[in-house]
Amino acid sequence: MWRTGGAPRARGPLTPLFVGAVVSGAVALVVGLAASCGPDGGRPDARASSSAPAPSPAGTAAPILPPGYSPTEPVLDDSFADPAAVKVGDTYFAYGTNGGDAKMPVATAPGPAGPWTRSPGDGLARLPAWAEEGWTWAPEVVPPQRRGDPYLLYFTARRRDADVQCIGIATATSPAGPFVPREGEPLICPARLGGAIDAASFIEDDGTRFLLYKSDARKTAAIYLVQLTSDGLELAAPATRLLGRSGDEPVLVEAPDLVKRDGKYVLFYSAGWYFKPNYQTRYAVASSVWGPYEKGPAPIQSTDLYGGKIEGPGSADVLSDGTGDYLVFHGITEYHGGSRVTRPMYVAPLGWDGTRPVVRGVPARYEVEAARLNGCVSALPRPNASGGKAAGPFARDDCTVDVRVFAPVAGRYSVRVQYANRSGAESDLEVAVNGTAAGSVRLAATDGADWTSVTAQVRLGGGWNTLGLRRLSGAGRPAGKGQLDYLEVR
């Protein structure tokens, strides 16, 4: 995933060179002049990150989403692991780890969430002499920054003469390839650290180029940053270690991606084995590109956070365009024994609470007792409730709560209301969004210590919103008294 300082980066048998050339020519007809008119055609638009939380929506644009799209369903059904994506002209390009008949599969789409179509042939013309077939991982394509410059591909491959993986470089005149590798030694291959994988480009506001990667030995696995020459083809300085595994993270860290948001550097990375369900996406923030990086308190993607709808989400790449930010990543859909898994590509809109990334499709829970209560409603000890407390009872029409919730992007969301209603009668609650009535939910009567839920559909603005709930009665409405445990927004 390449990134500029002002915007996030977008991340078999040998196929003959002419096959890739045919693919390149076909795609060129789609990309047209936009891909050939200079660097601006391939660079994502900068978007400022969200400011501090506000009581009303931040007003971010609605993302481009095709009919039937779901952030928890693959956009490419077959394996397309370690995906990275860029936008060139009006076309989106995605690149993945080797699989099937391609060392580097390529897919295209009219929008970030698809529909995606695999391109025929192979995006990588061949491997350099130092690389072994069948081990081409985690591609990173960087569009040209100046007119006449090539597209750059950073890729991982295994050395023929040593049991280590290294990062090589290839160039092309089209985002579709074929990318032709540079011969000689790999660009990065720290043998004392067990090699290197997972290259990710970052370009500062002043044009300074960097490359991030992971050292490959398990015991010393860490994320490194190295400065490149202005053309991106050579190392300009020694590498610096940015971060390693923490005690609450599984096994190791890998798959870095760096963006700049709210004046800070936000480093995405994965933790764990890519072939296990506890693989997850995390982040860390720094004031300087060199760190120190302070890790976020918890994963932003995991099997548990998705409620099992996506297993082992990780290897995330931030794609940015004029419609907003998107997280491109893989998840596990099939296990074939050992480290062999099927990992298709997913795309989810990405929002920002300052420097905290928030992913569409990951539900967020808000404890109602911690919200703004108007006095008629109070926090009640309830040992069997989430957090040991609930809010209620909603005994009169002026009983209200205001819960501030965050939406990654503008759009329609489901709000799950966890409640108990032991009054013996049903109860209706109005649901308002930022002071405007948006619907209502009915709380059916419950028994004993049981808690249940009801779901409302609301439209939220991108950023912080206020969900208000108040009791409705009169005009034939029931007059029960409910208690609320939490709201879950997804």
DSSP string across 326-374 = EEEEEEE-EE-STT-EE--EEEEEEEEETTEEEETTS-EEEEGGGSEE-
DSSP class per residue in 29-87: HHHGGGGTS-GGGGSPPP-PPP-S--SS---BPPP---TT--TTS-SB-S---S-EEEE
Does 448 lie in the same domain as 387? yes
What percent of the chain lies above the pLDDT cut of 90?
Answer: 78
97: containing domain: 17-360
Residue from 89, 94, 124, 98 nearest 109 by CA: 94
Distance between CA atoms of 140 and 176, rounded to whole angstroms? Answer: 13
Q: For residue 8, is it within any domain?
A: no
Does 376 lie in the same domain as 337? no
Letter for the amino acid at 209? R
Q: For residue 11, is it within any domain?
A: no
Q: For residue 1, is it within any domain?
A: no
Which residues, 6+ apart, have CB-to-CB distance to 391 below 8 Å? 368, 369, 371, 373, 377, 378, 379, 380, 401, 483, 484
Reading the block at residue 84, the tokens are 């990275």
Distance between CA atoms of 186 and 131, rounded to whole angstroms? Answer: 9
The last residue of one of the domains, among 360, 380, 403, is 360
Q: For residue 178, is it within any domain?
A: yes
Reading the block at residue 411, the tokens are 């759009």
How long is the chain?
490
The last residue of one of the domains, among 360, 395, 423, is 360
The stretch 157-186 carries a mean pLDDT of 96
Q: For residue 5, is it within any domain?
A: no
Does 347 lie in the same domain as 327? yes
The stretch 246-267 carries a mean pLDDT of 96
The stretch 202-228 carries a mean pLDDT of 96
The chain-wide mean pLDDT, for the chain, equals: 88
Which residues, 6+ apart, have CB-to-CB distance to 28 below 8 Å? 35, 174, 176
pLDDT of 48 over the 50 cut: no
Based on its alpha-carbon atoms, the radius of gyration of the chain, rounded to whole angstroms, reads 25
Does 270 lie in the same domain as 404? no
Does 378 lie in the same domain as 299? no
The last residue of one of the domains, among 336, 360, 384, is 360
397 vs 200, residue with greater confidence: 200
pLDDT of 385 over the 70 cut: yes
User: What local confidence, expressed as pLDDT, does residue 396 receive?
Assistant: 87
The domain spanning residue 472 has which CATH number?
2.60.120.260
Does 369 lie in the same domain as 355? no
Q: By three-state DSSP, how is residue 255 classified?
A: strand
Given phi > 0 = left and psi -120 to 50 = alpha, else beta, which region is 77?
A: alpha
Q: Phi and psi of 84, rounded to 5°?
A: -135, 150
The stretch 406-428 carries a mean pLDDT of 94
pLDDT of 167 over the 80 cut: yes
Does 294 lie in the same domain as 195? yes
Q: Per mean pLDDT, which range of 52-66, 86-100, 268-282, 362-376 is the poorest?
A: 52-66
The stretch 334-347 carries a mean pLDDT of 97
Does 413 lie in the same domain as 301? no
Question: What is the count of structural domains for the chain?
Answer: 2
User: What local confidence, expressed as pLDDT, does residue 20 receive?
Assistant: 40
Does 310 lie in the same domain as 353? yes
Q: Per mean pLDDT, which range of 44-58, 166-180, 221-235 is the poorest?
A: 44-58
The stretch 442-468 carries a mean pLDDT of 94
Residue from 18, 84, 22 nearest 315 by CA: 84
User: What local confidence, expressed as pLDDT, does residue 476 receive?
Assistant: 72
pLDDT bin (cut points 50, 70, 90) of residue 340 is very high
Within 13 Å of residue 387, how many CA atoms lie on the same side as its CB? Answer: 16
Q: For residue 318, is it within any domain?
A: yes
DSSP class per residue in 434-487: TTEEEEEEEE----TT--EEEEEEEEE-BEEEEEEEEEE-BTTB-----EEEEE
Does 385 lie in the same domain as 354? no
374 vs 485, residue with greater confidence: 485
12 vs 481, residue with greater confidence: 481
The domain spanning residue 174 has which CATH number?
2.115.10.20
Q: For residue 216, is it within any domain?
A: yes
pLDDT of 272 over the 80 cut: yes
User: What local confidence, expressed as pLDDT, does residue 62 receive?
Assistant: 58
Which residues, 6+ apart, have CB-to-CB distance to 435 below 8 Å? 466, 468
Does 318 lie in the same domain as 197? yes
pLDDT of 392 over the 90 cut: yes
pLDDT of 15 over the 90 cut: no
pLDDT of 95 over the 90 cut: yes
pLDDT of 37 over the 50 cut: no
Q: For residue 393, is it within any domain?
A: yes
User: What local confidence, expressed as pLDDT, does residue 77 receive?
Assistant: 87
Does 278 lie in the same domain as 180? yes
User: What local confidence, expressed as pLDDT, does residue 46 receive?
Assistant: 31
